[in-house]
Amino acid sequence: MNIKRIGVLTSGGDAPGMNAAVRAVVRTALSCGIECIGIRRGWQGLINADFVRLDSASVGHILSRGGTILFTARSEDFMTEKGRERAVMTCKMLGLDGIVAIGGDGTFRGALELSRLGIPVVGIPATIDNDLGCSNYTIGFDSACNTAIECIDKLRDTMQSHERCSVVEVMGRNAGFLALYVGIAVGATAVLVPEHEEDFQKNVIEKIQASRLAGNTHFMIVVAEGAGSAVEIGKQIKETIGIEPRVTVLGHIQRGGSPNARDREIATRMGYYAVMAFAEGRGNTIIGTKEGDIVEIPIEEALAMKKHLQMERYKIMEAMQFGHTANRS
């Protein structure tokens, strides 16, 4: 595989650290004598030939920026055969020998379809949900967790002042990785995740009641968006025990902000290895992590892999809640 020019795009939901990955792809490519073209607005941009030439200067000072300088979008057109054919035409027009696609599951499914049409693709996992089975870690997760923790810590201050219950909904799509990680970190009274079938009376109401009996006057319930509506859960709490919770849906604030050290470092490593895969004659793979090491997995195999919530963490969280209700700490 003789690689002279590659494209790079970001697709799907944005995540802190995407810019760091773009920067690493561009500068690694240049160091290998490979030109780099930025495709703006994801797969839709590839269909529309929305591109920009990238050099070392154009990716300067973006390491600390949140979001993505290439913009991102979801593309219904790319889901059609005609749309994908137009994308292939753009690749040929630009002389692209391959594409580095930065995103999540939907991005990689698009990458697989493009690879079947003869355009080599290497994927970099970037999603705050951390729900991709092919990688232990996805770019953006840690930064999103820290944003949620900072917000919840501030909410706790005002909840303590008014002796109230707070129900906070965090993102995560259909996965509870973000909610459970954050719930442990903030010492939540209860955490609701889609992977764990909840008995509302036992897992929420009784925990609040036990905490009240222990003398606590504020309660923090963290809800993964895939586990239900925080608003509805707040209503249930009020109807069951008469406490009127304050509901906060953190929403897209979790996607924003400067990426932290972990996301900058791992995004840089993934970007480097993505380009080296092309430079060494490999394509149609996903760059992931396993026990801290960078690994390459064929796209089809990567998409078939599943990631399960670590129930050990759920047990740890419950043990911390017991200590909280028993010792008021």
Residue 320 has pLDDT above 90, yes or no: no
Catalytic residue among 129, 131, 142, 263: 129
DSSP-based three-state secondary structure for 169 = strand
Active site residue 263: no
Domains 5-140+259-304 and 142-255 share a fold: yes
Predicted confidence at residue 85, as pLDDT, reads 97
Residue 327 has pLDDT above 50, yes or no: no
Tens of pLDDT, residue by residue over 201-258, are 999 999 999 988 888 888 999 999 999 999 999 999 999 999 989 999 999 999 999 9
DSSP-based three-state secondary structure for 184 = helix
Closest C-alpha among 318, 326, 327 to residue 189:
318
3-state secondary structure 89-121: HHHHHHCCCCEEEEECHHHHHHHHHHHHCCCCE
> Token digits for 139?
């770019």
Domain chopping of the chain, boundaries: 5-140+259-304, 142-255
The rounded distance, in Å, linking the Cα atoms of 112 and 302 is 10
Which CATH number applies to 5-140+259-304: 3.30.300.210, 1.10.443.10, 3.40.50.450, 3.20.20.210?
Answer: 3.40.50.450
| Domain at 142-255: CATH code | 3.40.50.460
Least confident of 120-129, 210-219, 295-304: 210-219
Predicted confidence at residue 318, as pLDDT, reads 82
Residues 6+ positions from 132 with CB-CB distance below 8 Å: 104, 105, 108, 125, 138, 288, 302, 305, 307
Predicted confidence at residue 329, as pLDDT, reads 40
Tens of pLDDT, residue by residue over 43-96, are 999 999 999 999 999 999 999 999 999 999 989 999 999 999 999 999 999 999
